[in-house]
Amino acid sequence: MAISDRIKAEASRTIDNMQRFYEKYSDETDEAEELEHRIARIEASMEGCNGLTQDEKIQKTAENVFELTCAQERSYDSLRREIKITRDEYKKECQEIKSALTKGISDLAKKIEDSGMDSSASVPKRNSSNNLFLKVIAEHPLLAFNAFMFVILLVFVSGHFEAISKMCSIGSGTGGG
């Protein structure tokens, strides 16, 4: 039995798509060899679809399963490598952000300390709930700053920044002076 036109067309379409993908997204030298292996696997699979004897088809199927298993394992290793690289970059970025925030917060705390403002002098006398809130902020500026940054982050993440900015007339160009 000859290889059907449908199988030939599918193999050709698949190989063309793989080659276009590698042309567009390839950035490593070992990818050319991998592309050759992938094309060879398609062609070997296609061979198993022609007039081979029963024993030859069983052998061809076993070889194809072996090739697919090897390819799967190489792909798994490549995926794990990319995940590790991405995870390491993410950790590095988080550490840099943490360092920048820590430095910024310590600089802010130093500026507050250098200003000579006493916490009791900076809290105006109002009702007791406002007094307590302002006293906590005055006595714990780092905690207040972290809480404020956390709330800002939550606003951005939640997607409600525009609604809040409109409510406060921030960036709308109308009102607010």
Average pLDDT, the chain: 79
Task: Quickly state the pLDDT bin for 30 (edges 50, 70, 90).
Answer: low
How far apart are alpha carbons 54 and 169 in whole angstroms?
A: 78
| pTM exceeding the 0.75 threshold for the entire prediction | no
Domain edges within the chain: 5-86, 117-177
Residue 29 tokens read as 């030298």
Q: Is the pLDDT of residue 26 over 90?
A: no
Three-class SS state of 125: coil
With contact defined as beta carbons under 8 Å apart, do 108 and 145 qualify? yes
With contact defined as beta carbons under 8 Å apart, do 50 and 1 qualify? yes
Q: Is the pLDDT of residue 101 over 70?
A: yes
Helix 54-114 / helix 31-47 crossing angle, nearest 10 deg: 150
